[in-house]
Amino acid sequence: MRKKVKVMIIITSIVLVIGVGFGLSYLKRYNDYKSEVADIKIKEVNLNEIEDGVYVGEYDVDFISAKVQVEVKDNQIKVIEFIEYHHDRGEKAKSILQDMVDEQRIDVDTISGATNSSKVIQKAVENALSGS
φ, ψ of residue 62 in degrees (nearest 5): 75, -65
Q: For the ranges 19-23, 71-75, 127-131, which has the lowest average pLDDT?
A: 19-23
Spell out the alpha helix ranges (H) of the chain: 2-38, 96-103, 115-130
pLDDT over threshold 70, residue 85: yes
Q: Rounded distance, CA 29 to CA 107, Å?
A: 27
**What is the spatial distance between Cα 27 and Cα 103, in angstroms, rounded to a whole number?**
37
pLDDT tens, position by position, 20-65: 888 888 888 888 888 999 999 999 999 999 999 999 999 999 899 9
Residue 21 lies in a domain: no
Q: Give mean pLDDT, residues 85-105.
A: 91
Q: Are 25 and 89 in contact (CB under 8 A)?
A: no
Number of domains into which the chain is organized: 1
CATH number at residue 84: 3.90.1010.20
pLDDT: which is higher, 72 or 24: 72
Domain span at 72: 47-130
Q: For strand 76-86 and strand 53-60, is the pairing parallel, antiparallel, or unpaired?
A: unpaired
pLDDT of 86 above 80: yes
φ and ψ at residue 34, rounded to 5 degrees = -60, -40
Looking at this protein, which amino acid is placed at residue 30? Y
In a domain, 87, yes or no: yes
